[in-house]
Amino acid sequence: MKTTINVYIGLLLLMLSSSACTDDFLEEKRNFGEYDDTFYQSQERVDFYINNIYYDFFQSLSSPTATLVGLYETEYSGLTEEIGGIRTLIDPTQTLITSDDGFGYYGTKLENKLKNEPYHRIRDCNALLEDIDVKGANLDEDYRDRAKGQMYYFRALQYFDLMRSYGGVPIVTTVENASVTDESLQIPRASVTELVAQIVSDFDMAATLLPGTWEPGQYGRFTKGAALAQKAKVLLTYASPLYNADWDNNANERWQAALQAGLDAESQLASDGYGLYGNTAKDWEDLFLIDNTFSTEAITVHLLGNGNASNILNNSWERTIRLSSQDGNGGQAAPKEMIDLFPMADGSRPTAENGYDDFLFFVDRDPRFYRTFAFSGRKWAYDEDPDDTVWAYRYTDSEDNEFFSDNNQVSSPAFVRKMSNPLASNASSFEYSGTDIFEYRYAELLLNIAECYAATGDISNTISYLGRIRERVGINSSNNYGIGNLASKYEALEACLYERRIELAYEGKRFWDVQRWMLYDDDGSINSNNTCAMLGLEPLNGTQRTGNFLQYTGVSTGSEDPLAAERAVLSVDPDAADFQAQIQALAAFYTANFEFAELPIPLDNVNGEQAQIDFKPYYYIMGLKTDVLTQNPYLRQTVGWQDASGAPGTYIYQE
């Protein structure tokens, strides 16, 4: 899933600037696949077509927290513990239920105009699959196979995100001309089982047609191993409680199929040179910075470029998370619930019994903690200042006027720095970062396999796969890498979900885990759901994300920072030989000078008042919008939602 700027966007602009094909191609594009017989006879033009589909699918992917192909919405992380702030879907004062409230990702009416929407993207895939072997028979067979392999992959990927959003949707695998009278085009919503079968078939076809690796100049295109890994993810989702009423059966065939698919993907990827990158926490941090070149960890990665030219796609994440003192957008506050989540250095859970102090939250933590978060006193380099140490605390004078160190007003003592590039330039406030986005990592595949083992009751293999994740960052094997003894498959499943929250934090994965396990509440009104109780997890509903200021306990003289001189000798760098001594010195400084202070307005609030998460159980699968239902009356509304006439929806997605 790499939209490499040099391969795809560069070719796109080259073709658009070519007087030989621009007008003809755009006219053909307007005609929705009705190309003349010569179109597929040119490899150059087919390349352009394929590259344009990559662009349509991934041009909006500018943040690792974004999700859903084509749309790449960043709001989903804000529905979990990762990012605070009340959004519509968790707002206790709002109830979405009518078709007007439905989710617009499905798209709008198919018309004779270009739209970058799901079924338009699917149509583009279908057009090439139908025509290239007939009209492009003169092209090299291997080239045609690779072209088709990419289309099968694209189509499967799009249908998977439609499935995650709506359950079953109409399956269209041929190019159809829009018509209001042709009843054969009135395709109803498929069952989830039917849709999964189609998605799996497409990924299987892609795997048979795609290479294990591409030539360097084509790096970033889909591979055989990526298709198998995506298939494994689809089957894992299908086996999960949201879609699988029989999920608690160790012998359930869906878990078995997901496990086998994961193992097949692992085997293929390993044979193609993929695997966990490195064997230290520093390697774990650096893997996200491998730029436009092969990475063993990258199953799919979105390649980006530096600069503000019209042919360059950038990463918005760097600008989002950088502090004001670094000319960023002010930082991404980490809720207390995320700070308190990460294990201790030995892998054990952060409890008082295990030595955790939530005020000195940075002491003795999992090595990934220091590379996921920054905090006052933590070194955070960038190109123009490789030794920058950030500070973000509040202090007040004798008249209670408030000030913030270095103008860094962050509503948490810790802030996200994962996937930040220490060589990024703030010359343009990090706006044009070229850091690539890793969309599917080898570590995620291992976690998928671990979860399947847990669901089938194989605790030994669960620990083995989780151990590989932890061992890579330096957690030793004592007490099962700090995991301890797992007494049941339910504890094993909880351990898998916990490890995903750590390893994959801020990578756009958490909401989908919460969704497929239905972790907002054990409300059985829709899905007979009690997974939170079974796994020993606190439901997200009724909780809130907590923010605090790091507050100086003394009184300042006016606006002058009272700690400016004393803090100058402090800097915590996880790569330093004396890192532990630095941590202890910083802990002493915190103890002598700081406390936590409540925010004047809670992190989760509605109209300034504390609010708690309230996600309705029927939100797990969204409703179709009014315009879709009225234009396509053969489509049934999702259960829990109202249709265009106000009647209850009848489409049941869980079988």
Residue type, 420: S
The residue whose two tokens read 């439905």 is 102
Q: CA quadruple 384, 390, 392, 398: dihedral positive or negative?
A: negative
What are the residues whose beta carbons fall under 8 Å from the beta carbon of 580, sequence distance 6 or more?
Answer: none
Q: What is the pLDDT of residues 331-343, one digit of tens each?
A: 999 999 999 999 9
Torsion of CA 33, 38, 43, 47, to 10 degrees: -20
Sorting pLDDT into bands at 50, 70 and 90, what band is 24? very low
Contact 198, 645 (CB under 8 A): no
Residues in the chain: 655
Q: Where are the alpha helices (DSSP H) in 240-387?
A: 253-271, 281-286, 317-321, 336-339, 369-372
The token pair at 216 is 């360097």
Predicted confidence (pLDDT) at residue 18 exceeds the cutoff of 70: no
Pairwise CA distance, residues 532 & 436, whole Å: 35
The token pair at 524 is 């059985």
Q: 71 — phi, psi (to 5°)?
A: -85, -50
Contact 130, 151 (CB under 8 A): no
Q: What is the pLDDT of residues 559-597, one digit of tens each?
A: 999 999 999 999 999 999 999 999 999 999 999 999 999
What are the residues whose beta carbons fall under 8 Å from the beta carbon of 443, sequence distance 6 or more?
Answer: 276, 297, 469, 472, 503, 504
Cβ-based burial of 61 (10 A; exposed 0-12, middle 13-18, buried ≥19)? buried
When pLDDT is averaged across residues 368-387 and rounded to a whole number, the result is 98
What are the residues whose beta carbons fall under 8 Å from the beta carbon of 512, sequence distance 6 or more?
Answer: 67, 76, 164, 237
Q: What is the pLDDT of residues 479-496, one digit of tens each?
A: 999 999 999 999 999 999
Host H or E run for residue 597: strand 594-598
pLDDT confidence of residue 8: 43
What does the longest C-alpha to C-alpha distance in the chain come to? Answer: 83
Pairwise CA distance, residues 246 & 141, whole Å: 44
Contact 264, 39 (CB under 8 A): no
Pairwise CA distance, residues 502 & 443, whole Å: 12
Torsion of CA 483, 486, 489, 490, to 10 degrees: -70
Predicted confidence (pLDDT) at residue 179 exceeds the cutoff of 70: no
Beta bridge partners of residue 476, listed in sequence order: none
Q: What is the pLDDT of residues 387-405, one digit of tens each?
A: 999 999 999 999 999 999 9
Pairwise CA distance, residues 612 & 609, whole Å: 10
Sorting pLDDT into bands at 50, 70 and 90, what band is 32? very low
Predicted confidence (pLDDT) at residue 12 exceeds the cutoff of 60: no
Contact 127, 133 (CB under 8 A): no
Cβ-based burial of 75 (10 A; exposed 0-12, middle 13-18, buried ≥19)? middle
Pairwise CA distance, residues 223 & 436, whole Å: 18
Host H or E run for residue 551: strand 548-552
The residue whose two tokens read 């059985």 is 524
Pairwise CA distance, residues 289 & 444, whole Å: 18
Indicate the SS3 state at residue 495.
Answer: helix
Pairwise CA distance, residues 386 & 421, whole Å: 11
Pairwise CA distance, residues 79 & 540, whole Å: 9
Which of the 8 DSSP states describes residue 334? Answer: P
Q: What is the pLDDT of residues 141-153, one digit of tens each?
A: 999 999 999 999 9
Global confidence as pTM: 0.94
Q: What is the pLDDT of residues 73-105, one digit of tens each?
A: 999 999 999 999 999 999 999 999 999 999 999
pLDDT confidence of residue 38: 80
pLDDT confidence of residue 648: 97
Which of the 8 DSSP states describes residue 642? Answer: B
When pLDDT is averaged across residues 603-607 and rounded to a whole number, the result is 98
From first CA to last CA, the distance across the chain in angstroms is: 31
Which of the 8 DSSP states describes residue 439? Answer: E
pLDDT confidence of residue 198: 98
pLDDT confidence of residue 178: 67
Predicted confidence (pLDDT) at residue 9 exceeds the cutoff of 70: no
Indicate the SS3 state at residue 410.
Answer: coil
Pairwise CA distance, residues 224 & 217, whole Å: 17
The residue whose two tokens read 């918005």 is 316
Predicted confidence (pLDDT) at residue 540 exceeds the cutoff of 70: yes
Torsion of CA 636, 637, 642, 647, to 10 degrees: 10
The residue whose two tokens read 């799009």 is 158
Pairwise CA distance, residues 191 & 167, whole Å: 8
616/186: higher pLDDT:
616
Predicted confidence (pLDDT) at residue 10 exceeds the cutoff of 50: no
Beta strands in 72-203 (DSSP E): none
Q: 116 — phi, psi (to 5°)?
A: -90, 75
Pairwise CA distance, residues 447 & 465, whole Å: 7
The token pair at 411 is 């509503």
Q: Please choose, from the candidates 584, 654, 563, the residue with its C-alpha nearest in 3D space to the C-alpha of residue 617.
A: 654
Host H or E run for residue 513: helix 510-517
Contact 616, 95 (CB under 8 A): yes
Pairwise CA distance, residues 641 & 189, whole Å: 15
Q: 548 — phi, psi (to 5°)?
A: -145, 150
Angle (CA) 625 626 631, round 5°: 110
Q: Please choose, from the candidates 235, 224, 230, the residue with its C-alpha nearest in 3D space to the C-alpha of residue 195.
A: 235
When pLDDT is averaged across residues 124-139 and rounded to a whole number, the result is 96
Sorting pLDDT into bands at 50, 70 and 90, what band is 31? very low
Lowest-confidence region among 33-42, 351-360, 435-444: 33-42
Mean of the per-residue pLDDT values of the chain: 93
Residue type, 34: E
Pairwise CA distance, residues 647 & 101, whole Å: 14
Beta bridge partners of residue 395, listed in sequence order: 403
